Structure 1
Amino acid sequence: MSSPVLDRPFAAILFDMDGTLVDSTAAIARCWTTWALEHGITGEQLVAAHGHGRPAPEIVAELVGAGSAEQAAARILELEIADVEGVVQLPGVPDLLAGLPAEAWAIVTSCSRPLADARRYAAGLAEPTALVTFDDVENGKPAPDCFLLGAQRLGVDPADCLVVEDAPAGLAAARAAGCATLAVRTTHPEGPLEADLVVPLLSGVRITAGPDGLRVRQQDGGPGPQRQV
């Protein structure tokens, strides 16, 4: 099935980081398990609150209450910055980023700036022209603030941006910002992902720069695109 993402040019690409550009799943699981044990949080409570793509301070406040949230959030940040073992770029990411003009892409993440830096350095990600973190906005995903700011920092209209995400909260934020959406099934291998185009991995697409902007193409021999709305 065709998708509008494949039929139009874009001025810029706004990438989520965890689960989209880098695989940090194992490190996240280790850190949050340690944190939950320290704070008397059960596994069931953690799973129920830990919607992928949400900012950590929001999850922490939901689990421990406002009175203890600041100290508890500082602790999970400490754990996550210290543990970047196994954080690597996902398949297809190095080649995809290498082919993009530097001024035409940004990273927009729910991480704090220190954690974003720790993970992108560990994975060896290329330096983005713009980096938007949870520290830069008043409201995290699924609010549109982060993607609106990402487009602003690149000097483009959000309506001319493609957001690449792996999580429902991030996709909701992108839609609210007026961006087109491409979802990868790294952290949500099954079930619906509300996006203009859904692919298993970024190795399934290529993005080329032309005189009219950036265009998304399906890789030859890759799995067919899925459009889910």
Structure 2
Amino acid sequence: MSLADRTFAAVLFDNDGTLVDSTGSVTRSWVTWAQEHDIDPRTLVGHHGMPAPAIIASVAPHLDPQQAFARIEQLEVDDVEDVVALPGVLDAIAAIGDAPAAVVTSATHELARVRLAAAGIGIAQVVTFDDVERGKPHPDPFLLAAQRLGVDPTDCLVCEDAPSGVAAARAAGCSVLAVTTTSTPDELGDADLVVSSLADVVFEVVDGRVRVHPRQP
């Protein structure tokens, strides 16, 4: 069954790369941190969507993980100059209106807060790295978001841009709409629908449930 033939009780949005463009901030912050520790920044490629501690463990297992995480977190929180909403995002959120929705991000609560604020996005329910023991690609963040919204995970639509997020959503039993902001269509192949951005689809609420379908040319 295609997404256009279904309705959903709730929509769960990833943040970075799905709702907001934080590429500049992320790149500048991680490169700065890497250079501070003589780490080749090229080793950071391919980790998008993963929680920061997992990235640190992968590229710099010799460093104190808590100190490294705190430093990167501060760099990113302090750098939101060019963080903006991605195409179609504000229209999608406006169309969903009061229907259940949540942001589900691998960032910390403080980082998610400043980025959502910088982009002018107001979604009250936010599940962050701070709320779960296991982040993406584990299903825990999406399961917690569904629980907080009082809906079944299998009745949720997840909007994601990263393979780890798609894997997490699938493991939680959710349907997935993926955008190619940071990944190729092949990398997002497990999604139900892959589009270039949320501007390519239309969200609408029917009898309190959310429907999404491709935007007609």
Range class of TM-score, shorter chain:
over 0.9
Q: Could you tell me whether the CA contact under 8 Å between 1:184 and 1:200 is conserved in 2?
A: yes
Residue 173 of structure 1: SS of its match in structure 2?
A: helix
Q: Counterpart of 1:97?
A: 93
User: Structure 1 length normalisation: TM-score?
Assistant: 0.90
Please name the residue that 2:117 is paired with: 121
Residue range with higher mean Cα deviation, 14-23 or 34-43: 34-43
TM-aligned CA deviation for residue 57 of structure 1:
1.3
Distance in structure 2 (CA, Å) of the matches to 1:67 and 1:217? 46
Which one of the candidate residues 48, 68, 74 is aligned to 1:72? 68
Q: Does 1:148 align with 2:148?
A: no
The aligned counterpart of 2:206 is 210
169, 175, 190: which one pairs with 1:174? 169
Q: What are the ranges of 5 or more consecutive residues in structure 1 without an aligned counterpart? A: 222-229
Per-residue CA shift, 1:165-201, capped at 9, x if unaligned?
0000000000000000000011114533120000111
1:153-164 mapped onto 2 (5 Å cutoff): 153-164=148-159
**How much has 1:217 moved relative to structure 2?**
1.6
More divergent stretch after superposition (112-121 vs 211-220): 211-220
Moved over 6 A (4+): none
- 1:143-182 per-residue CA deviation (whole Å, 9 max, x = no partner) reads 0000000001110000000000000000000000000000
**Alpha-carbon distance in structure 2 between the residues aligned to 1:169 and 1:146:** 12
Quick one: distance in 2 between partners of 1:53 and 1:164? Answer: 13
Checking the alignment, whether the CA contact within 8 Å between 1:181 and 1:196 is kept in structure 2 is yes
Match of 1:45 in 2: 43
- How far did residue 103 of structure 1 move? 4.3
Query: What 5-or-longer segments of structure 2 have no aligned partner?
Result: none
**Contact 1:103-1:154 within 8 A present in 2 as well:** no
Alpha-carbon deviations, 1:78-130, whole Å to 9, x = none? 1000001110000111111011133411100000001001111111112x231
Q: Which residue of 2 aligns with 1:192?
A: 187
CA-based RMSD of the aligned residues comes to 1.4
Aligned to 1:61: 57
Amino acid paired to 2:119: A
Which amino acid is the alignment partner of residue 199 of structure 1? V
TM-superposed CA distance for 1:62, in Å, is: 2.3
Equivalent residue pairs, number: 216
* Distance (Å, rounded) in 1 between the aligned partners of 2:63 and 2:184: 36
Match of 1:192, SS? helix
Query: Is the Cα contact below 8 Å between 2:163 and 2:187 reproduced in 1?
Result: no
Contact 1:161 1:179 in 2 (8 A): yes
Per the normalisation by structure 2, the TM-score is 0.95
Contact 2:99–2:209 under 8 Å retained in 1:
no
| Matched residue type, 1:197 | L
Change in Cα spacing, 1:40 to 1:188, as seen in structure 2 (3 Å) is: same
The reply on whether 1:111 has 2:90 as its aligned counterpart is no
Cα shift at 1:26: 1.1
Deviation at 1:46, TM superposition (A): 2.3
Find the partner of 2:83 among 71, 87, 91. 87
Bigger shift: 189-198 or 23-32? 189-198
Q: How far has the Cα of 1:58 moved from its partner?
A: 1.2
